[in-house]
């Protein structure tokens, strides 16, 4: 008897279009797939992984308020690369210090998201 296909799903709201490329590379969806394939979802056989779906809720879509985007089941090489990415990210998060790079989104003429982090404290001399 064949295993029933299991698809990981997530919901996200967005004011801008979420590209198919972004969905293919989405780490959250890949992590859900990894949980399925590694047998970490109770009652689910990891071999039944059939990829992931992202339900994108947005008022900016034409003639609808939602879109369903697809992430194909991770191929063995993609799974390996994702596991390497997790290990690399974990090493980075375990570091004793972090380097903050000033980027284009930190500029006042844009959104000034980083302004708090790039301006010296009032008490600084």
Q: Summarize pLDDT for 2-17 with one digit per residue, the tens.
A: 668 889 999 988 877 7
3-class DSSP state for residue 68?
Answer: strand
How big, in percent rounded to 5, are the helix, strand and coil portions of the chain? 35, 20, 45
Would the pLDDT of 117 be above 60?
no
Q: What percent of the chain has pLDDT over 90?
A: 43
pTM higher than 0.75 for the full model? Answer: no
Distance CA 98, CA 90 (A): 13
Q: Note the pLDDT of residue 106.
A: 66
Distance CA 117, CA 114 (A): 5
Residue 90 phi, psi (nearest 5): -65, -40
Q: Note the pLDDT of residue 10.
A: 92
Would the pLDDT of 50 be above 60?
yes
- Name the least confident of 39-48, 69-78, 110-119: 110-119
Would the pLDDT of 112 be above 80?
no
Return mean pLDDT, the chain.
83
Q: Note the pLDDT of residue 27.
A: 94
């Amino acid at each position: 008897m064949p295993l029933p296909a299991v698809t990981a799903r997530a919901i996200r709201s967005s004011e801008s279009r979420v590209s198919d490329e972004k969905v293919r590379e989405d780490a959250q969806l890949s992590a859900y797939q990894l949980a399925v394939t590694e047998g970490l979802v109770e009652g689910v056989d990891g071999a039944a992984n059939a990829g992931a779906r992202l339900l994108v809720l947005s008022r900016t879509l034409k003639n609808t308020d939602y879109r369903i985007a697809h992430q194909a089941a991770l191929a063995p090489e993609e799974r390996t690369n994702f596991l390497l990415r997790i290990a690399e990210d974990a090493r980075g998060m375990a570091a004793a210090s972090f380097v903050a790079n000033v980027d284009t989104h930190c500029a006042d003429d844009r959104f000034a998201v980083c302004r708090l982090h790039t301006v010296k404290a009032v008490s600084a001399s």
